[in-house]
């Protein structure tokens, strides 16, 4: 910052107090010093920000303070929120793993990429025709790393190193797609669950003892990545395998909470967040690094005491808010006020264009669905969400839309699975199919989607129906291939 205001102020004061030669010389010395201060102190060119995205698997909205009040401590996530902003209305467009991750990394809806649901072993996954955030940032000079669950395809052309990541480690898909699956072990046992580092398989097959180390290994790789790349802008993506079932934590956290395995796992994730924060601080990167903390979808409540918590209706695998609304904390000390909270709605498809804007990176040549929402994230008072609507789907079914401001949510008539009996200790529960008719919910006054107000607000409903039809025509008229 040039200190011209300070210089002018000082000049006025200086001139008014010149009475003697000694005063005059003293004043001149002060004036010259101030001039020197103003003219040699050139503005620093700020490096492009670093980005760290911690994306949990199946963590519920209320699993961490300050979103919920879990009985286990989560001091590091809480501290992240105190140093940044908590976003109460953050959405993912589909509450299932691969679809949610494809949307985060491409800025496009599942209906657009045609990545629906959860990809199984040997899936081709996300079409290379779609650019990923890592590719776009890498083109801008960023170093990129992903340490965690990939789940966007495990074929040669769809693995992380082929999709814009310089470094990678972890699992290619969900940690329950293995021979120990409680219901489908024989099926998933056909393909060994493997642990990869860069382009090599390091552990084949992954066993329970290996799963207990996943959170630790992902964290160690993340810290090493930060330490080695502190001098260049980087994009670090940490999509933890936990707390997706089967739950595992290392010996250092086993039994630590005294509240069961889920709580132990969450304490270890909290530890991981603390380690990343410390590494940024130690390397002097904290101020210019944006850390985003969220989850790919809501809790998998089928697993009862092995699932997280949400305040909202239903959970993972539905388009109700229990599935699609995730906790979200963004910390970026240089630009975002600490200890703030925002009710502005936005969606994971907006992350790519926003980060590209901050990095000065180009967007893909085709039109993406997300928009740059930096003003909204930065808390600018006049900021408004640029979307008319956000769309939600479950697998290949387009089910609902919400107005861009997050106020009105319209469910198209659709069936959904609702839990009738939760499982325990790693065993799934029982679902039954329910049906919702065309329904409008006022999310400000009814965030739990309980009271259908379509008769009171027919025009709101008609407008959202019109937008839903547009979305359907655009992305669901032909499911056979991606529509760039």
135 or 399: CB nearest Ca ion: 399
Dihedral pair phi/psi, residue 363, rounded to 5°: -85, 165
The CB-of-58 to Ca ion minimum distance in angstroms stands at 4
348: left (phi over 0), alpha (psi -120 to 50) or beta: alpha
Residues lying near Ca ion in the complex (CB under 5 A): 57-58, 97, 296-297
| Cβ neighbourhood burial of 453 (10 Å; 0-12, 13-18, 19+) | middle
Q: Are 430 and 420 in contact (CB under 8 A)?
A: yes
Residue 160, both tokens: 């992380």
The CB-of-176 to Ca ion minimum distance in angstroms stands at 11
Contacts for 469 with CB less than 8 Å, ≥ 6 apart = none
| Closest chain position to Ca ion (CB) | 97
d(CA 128, CA 360): 23
Query: Is the preceding omega at residue 231 within 30 degrees of 0, hence cis?
Result: no
Q: 151: closest CA among 187, 183, 193, 181?
A: 193
Query: Is the preceding omega at residue 396 within 30 degrees of 0, hence cis?
Result: no
103 or 297: CB nearest Ca ion: 297
The CB-of-326 to Ca ion minimum distance in angstroms stands at 10
57 or 350: CB nearest Ca ion: 57
239 or 406: CB nearest Ca ion: 239
328 forms beta bridges with: 87, 294
173 or 253: CB nearest Ca ion: 173
Query: DSSP string covering 462-476, please?
Result: HHHHHHHHHHHHHHS
The CB-of-404 to Ca ion minimum distance in angstroms stands at 25
Q: 409: closest CA among 377, 452, 376?
A: 452
Quick one: which H or E segment has residue 92?
none
The CB-of-64 to Ca ion minimum distance in angstroms stands at 16
296 or 350: CB nearest Ca ion: 296
296 or 399: CB nearest Ca ion: 296
The CB-of-453 to Ca ion minimum distance in angstroms stands at 31
Three-class SS of 420-432 = EECCCCCCCCEEE
**CA 29 and chain centroid, separation:** 54
The CB-of-42 to Ca ion minimum distance in angstroms stands at 48
The CB-of-321 to Ca ion minimum distance in angstroms stands at 16
59 or 76: CB nearest Ca ion: 59
The CB-of-92 to Ca ion minimum distance in angstroms stands at 9
206 or 245: CB nearest Ca ion: 245
Q: Are 128 and 157 in contact (CB under 8 A)?
A: yes
Interior angle at CA 324, CA 318 and CA 330, nearest 5: 165
The CB-of-97 to Ca ion minimum distance in angstroms stands at 4
Sheet of 397-403, strand order: 389-394, 397-403, 408-411, 439-442
169 or 307: CB nearest Ca ion: 307
Query: Is the preceding omega at residue 215 within 30 degrees of 0, hence cis?
Result: no
d(CA 358, CA 196): 31
Q: Are 301 and 95 in contact (CB under 8 A)?
A: no
């Amino acid at each position: 910052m040039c200190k011209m205001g300070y210089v002018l102020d000082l000049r006025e004061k200086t001139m008014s107090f010149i009475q003697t030669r000694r005063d005059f010389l003293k004043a001149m010395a002060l004036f010259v010093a101030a001039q020197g201060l103003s003219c040699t102190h050139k503005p620093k060119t700020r490096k492009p920000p670093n980005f760290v995205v911690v994306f949990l698997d199946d963590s519920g909205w209320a699993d961490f303070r300050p979103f919920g009040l879990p009985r286990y401590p989560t001091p590091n996530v809480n501290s992240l929120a105190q140093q940044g902003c908590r976003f109460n209305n953050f959405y993912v467009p589909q509450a299932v793993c691969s679809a949610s991750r494809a949307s985060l990394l491409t800025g496009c809806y599942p209906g657009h990429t045609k990545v629906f649901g959860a990809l199984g072993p040997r899936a081709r996954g996300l079409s290379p025709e779609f650019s990923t955030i890592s590719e776009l940032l890498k083109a801008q000079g960023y170093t990129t790393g992903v340490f965690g669950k990939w789940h966007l395809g495990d074929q040669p052309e769809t693995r992380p190193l082929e999709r814009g990541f310089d470094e990678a480690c972890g699992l290619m898909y969900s940690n329950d797609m293995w021979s120990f699956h409680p219901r489908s072990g024989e099926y998933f046992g056909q393909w060994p669950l493997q642990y990869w580092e860069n382009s090599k398989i390091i552990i084949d097959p992954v066993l329970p003892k290996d799963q207990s180390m996943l959170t630790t290994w992902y964290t160690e790789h993340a810290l090493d990545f930060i330490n080695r790349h502190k001098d260049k802008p980087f994009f670090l993506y940490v999509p933890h395998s936990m707390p997706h079932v089967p739950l595992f934590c290392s010996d250092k956290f086993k039994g630590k909470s005294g509240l069961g395995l889920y709580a132990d796992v969450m304490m270890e994730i909290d530890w991981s967040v603390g380690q990343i924060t410390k590494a940024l601080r130690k390397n002097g990167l904290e101020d210019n690094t944006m850390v985003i903390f969220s989850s790919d979808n809501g809790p998998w409540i089928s697993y009862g005491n092995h699932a997280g918590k949400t305040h909202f209706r239903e959970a993972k695998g539905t388009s109700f808010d229990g599935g699609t609304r995730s906790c979200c904390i963004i910390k970026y000390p240089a630009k975002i006020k600490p200890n703030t909270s925002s009710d502005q709605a936005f969606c994971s498809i907006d992350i790519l264009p926003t980060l590209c804007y901050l990095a000065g990176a180009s967007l893909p040549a085709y039109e993406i669905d997300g928009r740059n929402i930096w003003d909204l994230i930065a808390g600018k008072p006049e900021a408004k969400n640029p979307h008319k609507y956000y769309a939600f789907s479950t697998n290949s079914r387009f089910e609902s839309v919400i107005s861009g401001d997050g106020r009105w949510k319209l469910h198209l008539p659709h069936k959904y699975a609702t839990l009738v009996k939760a499982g325990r200790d790693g065993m799934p529960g029982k679902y039954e199919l329910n049906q919702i008719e065309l329904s409008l919910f006022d999310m400000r006054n009814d965030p739990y989607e309980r009271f259908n107000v379509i008769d009171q607000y027919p025009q709101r409903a008609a407008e959202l129906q019109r937008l839903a039809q547009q979305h359907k025509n655009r992305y669901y008229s032909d499911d056979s291939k991606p529509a760039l």
